[in-house]
Structure 1
Amino acid sequence: MTTRTPNLSTTFATPSATEPLAKFTDPDVTATGEPRARVALRQLETLWFNTGTLCNITCRNCYIESSPTNDALVYLTAAEVSRFLNEAKQLGTREIGFTGGEPFMNPEILAMLGEALAMGFDVLVLTNAMTPMQRPRIKEGLMDLHRRFGSRLCLRVSLDHYTQAHHEEERGLNTWQPAILGLDWLCASGFRTAIAGRTCWHETADMARQGYAQLFKERGWPIDADDAGQLMLFPEMAESDTVPEITTRCWSILGKSPDEMMCASSRMVVKRNGAVAPVVLPCTLLPYDTAFEMGTTLADAGKADGGMFDSGAVKLCHRHCAEFCVLGGGSCS
């Protein structure tokens, strides 16, 4: 197995007195010297687990560069997940999310889902619905979970566009039909199913929802394209110097509240290749940046201080914070 380490980290350097401050370098102030915005944890509503970055396909703009060779985040074990589930239960967490990579490549995914559901959590799995999910053992296990827990298990399938051409532009040739077959099976079997699309095709959100609605009708999928919980449209992100930083003034300028941000209600657990134990991060979009590590338990994460954190509050010192969450309005839950 070849390890591919993605280049998604942020380098925090101290500029000299004569050098201008670069964007996203100082945790406390922006390049213009204004106080950087921060987000406190309002309530841990959703705890995410990255089950590993290995995936059966390589997408053109994968948020965390998952691929068949990227094992920068290794497979979590069911025992490691169990420890965090017990902590989350004590904190009143409502939902457990599983993402990757492709979660159904993790050999212990069914055990993780089963324990989370048995403990009373709602469970959300992000999947491409392709071959890993469609293996007989996985389908049999999912059907058992569906019979036992019903709509508390939701599978959100990545279908980047409602046309094959644009979907495969993002995900590669021959990725459309397997995803469609996976969605056919999920919907026909009665699973609560949602779709994740992208907004990078130079069309309005209304146009996109109309296109998806037509596809859902043609396939007979009981998914409401006008429901933002059933069809989530995510903003595209690119490494660009044009992304503005978020200051404390931006909340009133944009008419938004810190409580609306993903890191106000969620945390994510990852295990890095070579690490002894998993660590907690603010959200699903910052899996490789060690500056955003909050500790090895949820209790530690709530006390994190210094650097990117202020008593557990997250300082928005990453371009993804600005582009995806604050300006893009994105949220993985």
Structure 2
Amino acid sequence: MKDHAITPDDASLTAQAPDGAAKFSDPAVTAKGEPRASVPLSHPETLWFNTGTLCNITCVNCYIESSPNNDRLVYITEPEMRAYLDELTARNWPVREIAFTGGEPFMNPEMCAMARTALARGYEVLILTNAMRPMMRKSVQAELAALIADYGPRLTLRISLDHWSEEMHDQMRGKQAFARTLDGMIWLRDQGARMAVAGRTLWDESDAEARAGYAALYARHGFDIDASDPGTTVLFPEMDETVDVPEITTACWDILGKSPRDVMCASSRMVVKRKGAATPTVLACTLLPYAPEFELGTTLAEAERDVALNHPHCAKFCVLGGASCSA
């Protein structure tokens, strides 16, 4: 069934239901009293590790508020990560990829050790990075070059490049950020690293225009990255929590012609370690690191339970994508 556009007069977009119940307040029912949709972990493919929220820069509108001072999520260690890999095996999760995000992952002194452990066990590894100074330290370069040489295409570095132009990128990340990231990308290119790019769709340009800009940049620098492939040039929308969106009911799946399997929490979980916590914890979603209702427990066994779609991000980014499930 064709998706319907979200419109201001859509009754499902009111901030509260007629009885005054707030939206996204009850994991079982919507503000209108309808059964809320939930998602089972049907096909685990990726286990994410947040390496810590510390970052070498402070970006405008960073969804996780990473900065040189934010240590709300502290460094995960290699033994802590390894314990979760052991549990993956014990519980027979068919995960193919171990992914690392931050903060800036290469600020974690055990980043390369964690990547090597995961690669040695046969997993593909994805590292999200700004490719700036933390990655370009001599000690990190030596370890990373060895990983690239040893494991080749099973290791992917996804570079945060908010826009294909220096001017726009630096608006988000600060003066000379674009040039420093390009230096890192050029070094990775020369090591034979497999690269992808994560950009943003904040600017007044079409998807085609954005991808053409990235394609020209890649060609100019000899980067072997496909600008037309949304899996290797990933363009993320802005995550504005003030935008009103409909709640997702169980009826939405049929109305939208979608399946719970299409939602990210059907195929992934993320491990974080909160400041002051004795152990890491497992979250349902990479986009909601600070939402306590999306904590599932300290083990993967606890994290196998269904996830209620009880947050605006669930609707806007993971289910609707610009559509409404109002009939």
Length-normalised TM-score, structure 1 = 0.88
Matches within 5 A, 1:19-34: 20-34=20-34
For residue 319 of structure 1, what is the aligned residue in structure 2?
312
Check 1:328–1:279 CA distance in 2 against 1; reply closer, same or farther (3 A cut): same
How far, CA to CA, are the matches of 2:243 and 2:190 in structure 1? 45
Matches within 5 A, 1:220-239: 220-239=222-241
Is contact 2:241–2:313 with CA below 8 Å preserved after alignment? no
**How far does residue 72 in structure 1 lie from its aligned partner after superposition?**
0.3
Give yes or no for the alignment of 1:186 onto 2:188.
yes
For residue 272 of structure 1, what is the aligned residue in structure 2?
274
Matches within 5 A, 1:62-101: 62-89=62-89, 90-101=92-103
Q: Which moved more, 1:27-36 or 1:134-143?
A: 27-36
Give yes or no for the alignment of 1:52 onto 2:52.
yes
Corresponding letter in the other structure for 2:221 = R
Corresponding letter in the other structure for 1:170 = M
How far, CA to CA, are the matches of 1:56 and 1:261 in structure 2? 31
3-state DSSP of counterpart to 2:296: coil
For residue 12 of structure 2, what is the aligned residue in structure 1?
none
3-state DSSP of counterpart to 2:297: coil
- Over 6 Å off, 4+ runs: none
Give 5+ residue unaligned stretches, structure 2.
1-17, 323-327
For residue 170 of structure 2, what is the aligned residue in structure 1?
168
**How far does residue 212 in structure 1 lie from its aligned partner after superposition?**
0.6
**How far does residue 19 in structure 1 lie from its aligned partner after superposition?**
5.6
How far, CA to CA, are the matches of 1:235 and 1:327 in structure 2? 13
How far, CA to CA, are the matches of 1:328 and 1:196 in structure 2? 18
3-state DSSP of counterpart to 1:268: strand
Q: What whole-Å deviation, never above 9, does each CA across 1:41-92 have from its counterpart, x for those lacking one?
A: 1121100000000001111111111111100000011110010011123322
**How far does residue 241 in structure 1 lie from its aligned partner after superposition?**
4.4
Q: What whole-Å deviation, never above 9, does each CA across 1:3-26 have from its counterpart, x for those lacking one?
A: xxxxxxxxxxxxxxx961111111
Length-normalised TM-score, structure 2 = 0.90
Quick one: percent identity of the two aligned structures?
58
For residue 36 of structure 1, what is the aligned residue in structure 2?
36
**How far does residue 240 in structure 1 lie from its aligned partner after superposition?**
1.1
Matches within 5 A, 1:277-316: 277-302=279-304, 312-316=305-309
- Choose the corresponding residue for 1:150, options 121, 128, 152: 152
Is contact 1:47–1:88 with CA below 8 Å preserved after alignment? no
**How far does residue 187 in structure 1 lie from its aligned partner after superposition?**
1.5
RMSD: 1.5
How far, CA to CA, are the matches of 1:155 and 1:22 in structure 2? 41
Corresponding letter in the other structure for 1:152 = R
3-state DSSP of counterpart to 2:163: coil
Corresponding letter in the other structure for 1:97 = A
Q: What whole-Å deviation, never above 9, does each CA across 1:246-296 have from its counterpart, x for those lacking one?
A: 222222333321101110000000000011100001121111112211111
Is contact 1:261–1:326 with CA below 8 Å preserved after alignment? yes
Matches within 5 A, 1:201-240: 201-240=203-242
For residue 257 of structure 1, what is the aligned residue in structure 2?
259
Corresponding letter in the other structure for 1:151 = P
How far, CA to CA, are the matches of 1:203 and 1:24 in structure 2? 32
3-state DSSP of counterpart to 1:294: strand
**How far does residue 202 in structure 1 lie from its aligned partner after superposition?**
2.2
Is contact 1:49–1:98 with CA below 8 Å preserved after alignment? yes
For residue 110 of structure 1, what is the aligned residue in structure 2?
112
3-state DSSP of counterpart to 2:209: helix
Aligned residues: 304
Check 1:328–1:139 CA distance in 2 against 1; reply closer, same or farther (3 A cut): farther
3-state DSSP of counterpart to 2:188: helix
Q: What whole-Å deviation, never above 9, does each CA across 1:186-226 have from its counterpart, x for those lacking one?
A: 11211010000111112221111111111111111111101
Q: Which moved more, 1:109-118 or 1:169-178?
A: 169-178
How far, CA to CA, are the matches of 1:313 and 1:247 in structure 2? 15
